[in-house]
């Protein structure tokens, strides 16, 4: 599975279709032949955006029979219960496409991925259908981000074939031909198509275990390497290879998507938590500024009350016959004190007014930041408010499944360390 490191990774898996019933079910899903689906993530209003890189000309089974009739493939020597159909699923986590522009970027990515599929399968003539799904909604990311996010991926249904040389037998009348190549056929064979390969070192020599046995690269590991290397060569250098030793090829489609997006959901949840924390910090700063503003207003009011009123000044002194104003010693002293206090108060008032204005501006800035952050987390808060139990149940289910998967995988991963690169 993808690690908790925010890195985008390519994923490729091969799925056997053992029975015709399996083939029919995959056809119904890939070609969107049903009117409704139990998978609630399928948004049929967006099905028109699905892209066929190779559209089927008939049912998958009918196309298979026609390929035999045309001599494109051969089932000679094949057992009745042999696997005759396969499906490749190519994928990158939803966040990768969301961060690169969405639908248009996904179209180009899977156009190149289809070219990789042609090489992996061995030729376009062995592909029955190749379709990019763009109508499956990523519920976790959509709810977390407050907008529709779709999970783009590619389904390629194909016939697994290998080249086989048919030799002239001893019963041939021309004995000189015995043992030579009579004809070359493309034999249907799942086991030979996906047989494990010997791992080689940098010099091209087989890698050996401590006991001297050859190290084998499983078919799944080879598929992952081939897909990753092709996409890297096509210019997609910002993705990494899917994790080695994972169990993705054994998961159902729904489990696979949930497991892939768990990491992205955790990242988004962490971002929301950080935003909420920042929101709390900004709100606390706003409250602090408001208290400072109230304190300054109080100080300003107190300073103003110490200044002389016009009425008090006018009531001082007595007018003489000559028109002069005489003050008593007490009034003169009081007036002087008031004058000094008035000058000091005016200066202090001026200083406090400046500080008050600065505080008001600062409070306005913090309030704006608070409103901005509040708006950013509004979709998440509304989602939690509208369906808290559903969100909590969804996260609990993911975390429980991940714990169970890790507990189940630990023994098998240690056992396969010598078998994987």
CA atoms in the 13 A half-sphere facing the CB of 339: 6
Which residues does residue 185 pair with via DSSP β-bridges, in sequence order?
Answer: 164
Q: What is the mean pLDDT of residues 216-230?
A: 84
Phi, psi (deg, nearest 5) at residue 16: -75, 145
Alpha carbon distance 318, 332 (integer Å): 12
What the block records as the tokens of 189 is 């064979």
Alpha carbon distance 236, 323 (integer Å): 99
pLDDT tens-digit series, residues 390-407: 666 666 666 676 666 666
**Average model confidence (pLDDT) for the chain?**
78
* Nearest C-alpha neighbor of 97 from the set 133, 129, 131: 133
Q: What is the total residue count of the chain?
A: 421
Over pLDDT 70: what percentage of the chain? 71
Q: What is the pLDDT of residue 140?
A: 85
The model's confidence at residue 111, banded by pLDDT at 50, 70 and 90, is: very high
* Nearest C-alpha neighbor of 110 from the set 161, 151, 60, 56: 151
Pairing of the two strands 127-133 and 9-17: unpaired
Q: b/e per residue, 81-104, with b = 16+ CB within 10 A?
A: eebbbbbbbbbbbbbbbbebeeee
What predicted TM-score, i.e. pTM, was given to this entire model? 0.56
Q: What is the pLDDT of residue 375?
A: 76
Q: What is the pLDDT of residue 250?
A: 38
How far is the first Cα of the chain from the last one, in angstroms, to the nearest whole number?
A: 16
Q: CB of 182 within 8 A of CB of 168?
A: yes
Give the residue, 65 or 350, on which the prediction is more confident. Answer: 65
Alpha carbon distance 247, 237 (integer Å): 24
Give the residue, 368 or 250, on which the prediction is more confident. Answer: 368
Q: Is the pLDDT of residue 157 over 90?
A: yes
Q: Is the pLDDT of residue 87 over 70?
A: yes
SS (H, E, C) the chain: CCCCCCCCEEEEEEEEECCHHHHHHHHHHHCCCCCCCCCCCECHHHHHHCEEEECCCCCHHHHHHHHHHCCCCECCCCCCCCCCEEEEEEEECHHHHHHCCCHHHHHHHHHHHHHHHHHHHCCHHHEEEEEEECCEECHHHHHHHCCCCECCEEEEEECCEEEEEEECCCCCCCHHHCCCEEEEEEEECHHHHCCCEECECCCCCECECCCCCECEECHHHHHHHHHHHHHHHCCCCCCEECCCCCCHHHCCHHHHHHHHHHHHHHHHHHHHHHHHHHHHHHHHHHHHHHHHHHHHHHHHHHHHHHCCCHHHHHCCCEECCCCCEECCHHHHHHHHHHHHHHHHHHHHHHHHHHHHHHHHHHHHHHHHHHHHHHHHCHHHHHHHHHCHHHHHHHHHHHHHHHHHHHHHHHHHHHHCCCCCC
Place of tokens 């001599």: 71
- Architecture category of domain 9-246 in CATH: 2-Layer Sandwich (3.30)
The model's confidence at residue 418, banded by pLDDT at 50, 70 and 90, is: very low
Alpha carbon distance 112, 408 (integer Å): 35
């Amino acid at each position: 599975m993808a690690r908790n490191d925010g890195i985008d990774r390519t994923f490729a898996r091969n799925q056997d279709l053992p029975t015709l019933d399996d083939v029919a079910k995959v056809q119904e899903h890939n070609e969107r032949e049903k009117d409704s689906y139990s998978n609630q993530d399928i948004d049929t209003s967006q099905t028109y955006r699905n892209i066929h890189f190779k559209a089927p000309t008939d049912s998958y089974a009918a196309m298979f029979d026609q390929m035999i009739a045309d001599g494109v493939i051969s089932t000679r020597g094949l057992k009745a219960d042999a696997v005759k159909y396969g499906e490749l699923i190519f994928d990158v986590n939803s966040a990768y496409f969301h961060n690169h522009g969405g639908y248009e970027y996904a179209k180009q990515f899977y156009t190149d991925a289809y070219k990789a599929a042609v090489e992996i399968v061995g030729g376009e003539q062995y592909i029955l259908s190749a379709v990019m799904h763009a109508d499956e909604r990523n519920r976790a990311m959509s709810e977390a981000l407050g907008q529709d996010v779709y999970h783009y991926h590619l389904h390629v249904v194909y016939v697994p074939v290998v080249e086989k040389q048919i030799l002239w037998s001893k019963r041939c009348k021309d004995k000189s031909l015995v043992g030579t190549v009579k004809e070359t056929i493309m034999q249907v064979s799942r086991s030979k198509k996906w047989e494990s390969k010997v791992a080689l070192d940098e010099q091209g020599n087989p890698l050996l275990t401590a006991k001297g046995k050859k190290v084998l690269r499983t078919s799944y590991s080879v598929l992952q390497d081939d897909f990753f290397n092709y996409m890297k060569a096509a210019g997609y250098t910002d993705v990494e290879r899917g994790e080695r030793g994972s169990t993705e090829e054994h998961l159902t489609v729904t489990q696979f998507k949930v497991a892939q997006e768990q990491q992205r959901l955790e990242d988004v949840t962490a971002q929301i938590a950080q935003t909420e924390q920042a929101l709390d910090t900004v709100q606390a700063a706003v409250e602090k500024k408001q208290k400072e503003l109230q304190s300054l207003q109080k100080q300003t009011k107190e300073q103003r009350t110490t200044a002389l009123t016009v009425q008090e000044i006018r009531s001082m002194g007595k007018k003489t016959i000559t028109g002069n104003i005489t003050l008593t010693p007490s009034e003169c002293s009081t007036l002087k004190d008031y004058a000094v206090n008035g000058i000091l108060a005016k200066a202090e008032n001026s200083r406090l007014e400046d500080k008050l204005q600065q505080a008001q501006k600062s409070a306005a800035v913090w309030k704006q930041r608070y409103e901005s952050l509040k708006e950013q987390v509004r979709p998440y808060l509304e989602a939690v408010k509208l369906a808290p139990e559903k969100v909590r149940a969804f996260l609990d289910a993911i975390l429980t499944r991940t714990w169970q998967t890790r507990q189940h995988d630990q023994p098998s991963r240690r056992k396969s360390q010598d078998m994987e690169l």
